[in-house]
């Protein structure tokens, strides 16, 4: 075997032939005469091979004279030689692996086979996350040939980097991989395979080797957007625990960088599935690498995205332009205006009569009695749970106390929404960035953006718009409701945290309704309890509907009914109740002196402001009236209604009806109440037919006052057990 290396490099330095003195090595032309004689002689002798290596790139050829030498040598040698063909990718894998690693000993073969089996199972079980064909037997064979280097890393080096003029196909891969393996060994890297995502690109030696094949301008790109002590991927991993646990962002950035070398076919970058292939190892959540890359693409200056393709470029992308505009062109005031417009555009008010967006003072909030109003405080007034001295509580108190032109009257018709102090800055930053991206979309012609850049700007503007909507819901979750003990002037602010799904009116009303801080359905029994408890009966034993509406609207110690319609429905329910005489009230259209006019009982009514609710105990008792034509011994029917209410008498032939209602009140022993309830159900309610209503009323008193813990526990348990009403007083 005759081995000749660097023949082109030797021949290109020789002189051309002429009349001058002959050199010991001959001149330029005699080299190829010798090559022809050598190859013909070798062809004539059995078991003889001449092996000549040739340069793989123009850089190695050495200019025009080197190319001439190469062409002459190829013309001579190919007359007798087999087809000139470089090593196949798999052969290159084997060459590099054998140069860098010892053969796997028999006692370690099980480890290798186990690793390859684990990777194959991962690719087969989650096939949708990886490029097609990765789970096949052919790819498994490639992993065996390249072990412990992942085939994806070899593909990036031999397919992408070897296309660079300065990169020698085999020698360049050997040098680069030798440096990478040395660094990984020194760091004690425990990865199952050496993959693109594992390359220690924060290593000065490795980066220095890479820079030999790239422009100098790539150095700051690597340090800022790929890997290094101050690189963006490292910062993202540090801010996100689920990314940082795997170094997911750094590994994804390294993989994209290894696929960013320009290709002969003009394609750029690697697709998302190939990035995941270059990062994920068995036992790791595959989706986190894709999530990390998406996060990185939204902040990196030199990372480009086109559909599912990712690559780094020396030219800054529009992300940098957006970041600069967000920082210099837009302030917090611009962000607040954008948030205000989005909140004002939300149409679902829930159970509120109105939603007031970004009130800055008392003059911004009307003092009407049309129903409960949700007042969204200006973002400057933030709030935190259990912070009774927050700027939001102070602003809410001033609005509750005053209106435009004097003291506020309808104080029980206001509920306040405030931004969480720990979420406001994030919302404002996202809003500024969204405005910046939208401005780039609007200015795309003046900026002379490429179609790809314009598409990226549109995509980011839409993505940021959705993010702002989400952050609005997450930031504006704190409801402040005023509460007042009867007979005191002090307002206590109660904080409730609303959900994050839906428009702000719907979110807040749902939560407040669940805690009965906003009531949308009320009963006549509870209205009667409120009248009794607050002493609203007049000396005549009635209360005007207008006065009752005013009480519910003005006083924070009263339940907060969402609208007058809720009260009107409760009044109608109370008068229509079969137990109205014991637990509700009658309704009268008016009063003339000491007599009520138009009294209505046991039926639904349509309350008007001039109407009266009448204490049943103050109504005249019904008198028995004898019916004309009664048979002797028969008693006359008593009138069923109160004064001012007449009902038809049954005819003589009609059968006499029995009682149509029953009411009983029991006092239960707190210790034996369970047994007593069972006895009542068995011996009383079981004999009254299907239309039976059982109401349990709990009254408790503690001279020392109930603790906050007891109040919270009892209120939550009562609500969970379906209590129609429960409150401490």
pLDDT tens digits, 524-573: 999 999 999 999 999 999 999 999 999 999 999 999 999 999 999 999 99
Lowest mean pLDDT, pick from 22-31, 148-157, 292-301: 22-31
Residue with the larger pLDDT of the pair 426 and 621 = 426
Lowest mean pLDDT, pick from 58-62, 168-172, 194-198, 218-222: 58-62
Reported as a single tens digit per residue, the pLDDT across 633-656 is: 443 333 333 334 433 333 334 444
Averaged pLDDT of the chain: 86
CA distances from 250 to 253, 256, 484, 702 (A): 5, 10, 56, 62
Alpha-helix runs per DSSP H in 332-450: 332-344, 391-401, 424-442, 444-447
Give me the phi and psi of 142, to 5 degrees please. -65, -40
Lowest mean pLDDT, pick from 49-63, 192-206, 376-390: 49-63
Q: What is the reported pLDDT for 65? A: 85
- pLDDT higher than threshold 70 for residue 627: no
Q: What is the reported pLDDT for 377? A: 98
- pLDDT higher than threshold 80 for residue 24: no
Please enumerate, as own/partner, the contacts of 556-559 that have beta carbons within 8 Å and a separation of 24 or more: 556/411, 556/412, 556/482, 556/483, 556/484, 556/491, 557/483, 557/484, 557/485, 557/486, 558/412, 558/530, 558/534, 559/516, 559/519, 559/522, 559/526, 559/530, 559/727
Reported as a single tens digit per residue, the pLDDT across 657-712 is: 556 677 777 777 775 677 677 777 766 776 677 677 787 878 788 877 787 767 76
Work out the pLDDT band at 89, boundaries 50, 70, 90: low
Torsion angle of the four alpha carbons 617, 620, 626, 627, in this order, in degrees rounded to the nearest 10 = -90
Measure the CA–CA gap between 211 and 242, rounded to whole angstroms: 32
Please state the rounded mean pLDDT for residues 510-520.
95
Measure the CA–CA gap between 637 and 379, rounded to whole angstroms: 69
Please state the rounded mean pLDDT for residues 22-35.
76
Give me the phi and psi of 535, to 5 degrees please. 65, 45
| Cβ count near 714 (within 10 Å) | 16
- HEC string of 237-295? HHHCHHHHCCCHHHHHHHHHHHCCCCCCCCCCCEEHHHHHHCCCCCCCCCHHHHHHHHH
- pLDDT higher than threshold 50 for residue 4: yes
Structure tokens at 522: 């009320």
Report pTM.
0.60
Lowest mean pLDDT, pick from 171-185, 245-259, 357-371, 424-438: 171-185
Structure tokens at 348: 């679902």
- pLDDT higher than threshold 80 for residue 43: yes
- According to DSSP, residue 88 is labeled P
Report the percent of the chain where pLDDT is more than 90: 53
Q: What is the reported pLDDT for 29? A: 83
Reported as a single tens digit per residue, the pLDDT across 450-468 is: 887 888 899 889 999 999 9
Lowest mean pLDDT, pick from 12-26, 154-168, 292-306, 347-361: 12-26
Measure the CA–CA gap between 544 and 612, rounded to whole angstroms: 4
Residue with the larger pLDDT of the pair 327 and 708 = 327
Measure the CA–CA gap between 401 and 414, rounded to whole angstroms: 11
**Residue linked to tokens 């104080």:** 411
Residue with the larger pLDDT of the pair 96 and 328 = 328
Angle at 98 between CA 94 and CA 100, to 5 degrees: 120
**Residue linked to tokens 């801010």:** 239
């Amino acid at each position: 075997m005759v081995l000749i290396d660097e023949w082109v490099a030797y021949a290109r330095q020789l002189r051309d032939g002429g009349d001058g003195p002959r050199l010991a090595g001959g001149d330029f032309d005699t080299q190829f005469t010798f090559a022809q004689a050598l190859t013909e002689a070798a062809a004539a002798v059995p078991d003889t091979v001449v092996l000549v290596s040739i340069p793989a790139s123009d850089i190695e050829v050495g200019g025009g004279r080197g190319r001439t030498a190469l062409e002459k040598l190829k013309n001579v040698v190919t007359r007798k030689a087999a087809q000139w063909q470089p090593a196949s990718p798999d052969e290159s894998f084997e060459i590099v692996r054998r140069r860098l690693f010892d053969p796997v000993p028999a006692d370690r073969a099980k480890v290798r086979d186990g690793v390859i089996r684990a990777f194959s199972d991962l690719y087969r079980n989650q096939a949708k996350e990886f490029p097609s064909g990765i789970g096949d037997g052919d790819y498994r064979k490639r992993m065996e040939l390249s072990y412990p280097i992942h085939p994806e890393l070899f593909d990036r080096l031999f397919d992408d980097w070897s296309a660079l003029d300065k990169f020698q196909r085999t020698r360049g891969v050997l040098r680069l991989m030798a440096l990478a393996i040395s660094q990984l060994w020194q760091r004690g890297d425990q990865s199952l395979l050496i993959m693109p995502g594992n390359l220690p690109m924060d290593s000065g030696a490795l980066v220095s080797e890479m820079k030999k094949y790239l422009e100098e301008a790539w150095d700051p790109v690597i340090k800022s957007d790929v890997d290094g002590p101050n690189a963006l991927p490292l910062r993202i991993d540090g801010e996100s625990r689920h990314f940082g646990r795997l170094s997911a962002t750094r590994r994804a950035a390294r993989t994209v960088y290894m696929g960013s070398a320009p290709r002969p076919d003009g394609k750029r970058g690697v697709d998302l599935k190939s990035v995941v292939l270059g990062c994920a190892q068995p036992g790791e959540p595959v989706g986190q690498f894709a999530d990390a890359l998406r996060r990185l693409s939204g902040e990196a200056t030199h990372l480009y995205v086109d559909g599912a393709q990712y690559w780094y470029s020396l030219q800054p992308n529009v992300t940098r332009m957006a970041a600069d505009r967000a920082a210099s062109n837009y302030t917090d005031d611009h962000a607040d205006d954008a948030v205000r417009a989005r909140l004002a555009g939300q149409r679902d008010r829930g159970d509120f009569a109105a939603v007031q967006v970004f009130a800055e003072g008392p003059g911004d909030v009307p003092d009407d009695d049309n129903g409960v109003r949700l007042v969204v405080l200006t973002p400057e007034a933030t709030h935190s749970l259990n912070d009774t001295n927050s700027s939001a509580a102070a602003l809410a108190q001033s609005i509750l106390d005053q209106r435009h032109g004097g003291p506020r009257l309808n104080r029980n018709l206001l509920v306040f929404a405030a931004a969480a102090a720990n979420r406001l800055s994030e919302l404002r930053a996202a809003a500024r960035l969204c405005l910046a991206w939208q401005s780039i979309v609007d200015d795309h012609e003046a900026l002379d953006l490429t179609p790809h850049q314009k598409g990226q700007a549109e995509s980011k503007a839409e993505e940021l718009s959705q993010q702002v909507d989400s952050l609005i819901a997450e930031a504006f979750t704190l409801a402040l409701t005023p509460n007042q003990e009867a007979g005191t002037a002090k307002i206590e602010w109660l904080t409730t945290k609303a959900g994050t799904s839906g428009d702000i009116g719907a979110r807040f009303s749902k939560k407040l309704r669940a805690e009965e801080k906003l009531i949308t359905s009320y009963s006549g029994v509870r209205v009667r309890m409120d009248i009794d408890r607050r002493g609203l009966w007049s000396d005549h034993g009635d209360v005007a509907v207008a006065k009752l509406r005013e009480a519910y609207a003005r006083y924070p110690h009263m339940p907060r009914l969402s609208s007058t319609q809720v009260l009107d429905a409760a009044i109608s329910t109370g008068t229509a109740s079969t137990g109205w005489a014991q637990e509700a009230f009658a309704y009268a259209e008016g009063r003339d002196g000491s007599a009520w006019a138009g009294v209505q009982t046991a039926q639904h009514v349509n309350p008007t402001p001039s109407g009266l609710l009448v204490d049943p105990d103050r109504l005249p008792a019904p008198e028995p009236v004898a019916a004309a034509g009664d048979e002797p011994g028969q008693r006359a029917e008593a009138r069923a209604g109160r004064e001012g209410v007449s009902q038809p008498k049954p005819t003589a032939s009609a059968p006499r009806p029995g009682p149509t209602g029953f009411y009983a009140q029991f006092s239960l022993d707190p210790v034996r109440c369970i047994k007593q309830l069972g006895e009542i159900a068995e011996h009383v309610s079981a004999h009254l037919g299907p239309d039976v209503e059982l109401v349990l009323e709990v009254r408790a008193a503690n001279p020392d006052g109930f603790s906050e813990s007891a109040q919270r526990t009892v209120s939550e348990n009562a609500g969970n057990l379906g209590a129609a009403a429960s409150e401490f007083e």
